[in-house]
Amino acid sequence: MASPSRQNFAEECEAAINRQINVELEASYAYLAFATYFGQDTVALPHAEKFFLKQSHEEREHAEKLAKYQNLRGGRVVYQDIHKPTKTVFASLRDAMETALAMEKAVNESLLQLHALALHNK
């Protein structure tokens, strides 16, 4: 059933927002794994743990904001499977930061694609 509040909201934009929600949640999940790794007694880098935990919360907030926007526009949030992080053990803090940077670039690229799609459907 179509929402009465839905207006000028392309289905492909709705689907893209759902994909972006999943991207953000996967990043949050990965950062949580990073934090857990650095919190282990054998690694014990509490500031790194705190940093990555903060990043995890930030990514989840992004997903929540997108879900709220989806509802505001009359769309429906469709959650997808969240894949486990591909890397959960690090050679060093630098290794983790490089992995995080690559992930942030991928998240940003996904956002840029979402933006381009939104402009196309304006």
Residue set of the binding site: 24, 59, 62, 104
Are the CB atoms for 118 and 14 separated by under 8 Å? Answer: no
- Give the whole-angstrom CA distance, residue 49 versus residue 55: 10
Instruction: Say how many residues make up the chain.
Output: 122
What residues are designated binding site for Fe cation?
24, 59, 62, 104
- Give the whole-angstrom CA distance, residue 97 versus residue 53: 13
- Give the whole-angstrom CA distance, residue 99 versus residue 77: 29
Closest to 52 measured CA to CA, from 100, 89, 94: 100
Closest to 29 measured CA to CA, from 102, 88, 85, 67: 85
